[in-house]
Amino acid sequence: MNGSDSASTGRMWVRIIKGHRTTRDLTIPCQRTAPLVALQNAMHTLDLSMPVWLLRHQQDWDRFALTRLLPEHFVDSVDFDRMDISYIAPEETRKPNTTRGD
């Protein structure tokens, strides 16, 4: 990842999962280096309390641009099995698609 990636605004994709089904999802503007700002906006939109953001979550976000939040990461009771969040890079910073044989 080069320095321009960290300053670009991409999107955070939030998926609420119960069982094996996504019951709700949304995307929200997100800077790769500031996931908590986007997460707070997403929680407001979803009418959920802000989860506890652990070191593990930050490490997953830094390394893989995704993390998983479980019901125990929320102070309030939630009606889902997990919340997956991932980063979608801005179009201009993505690697071009290549096909084999080109």
Question: Which one, of 3, 85, 2, lies nearest residue 36 by Cα?
Answer: 85
Distances (CA, A) of 28 to 42, 76, 80, 93: 7, 22, 20, 18
Distances (CA, A) of 62 to 22, 27, 33, 65, 76: 24, 19, 8, 6, 26
- What is residue 8's predicted lDDT score, i.e. its pLDDT? 74
pTM over 0.85: no
Model confidence over 18-72: pLDDT tens digits? 999 999 999 999 999 999 999 999 999 999 999 999 999 999 999 999 999 999 9
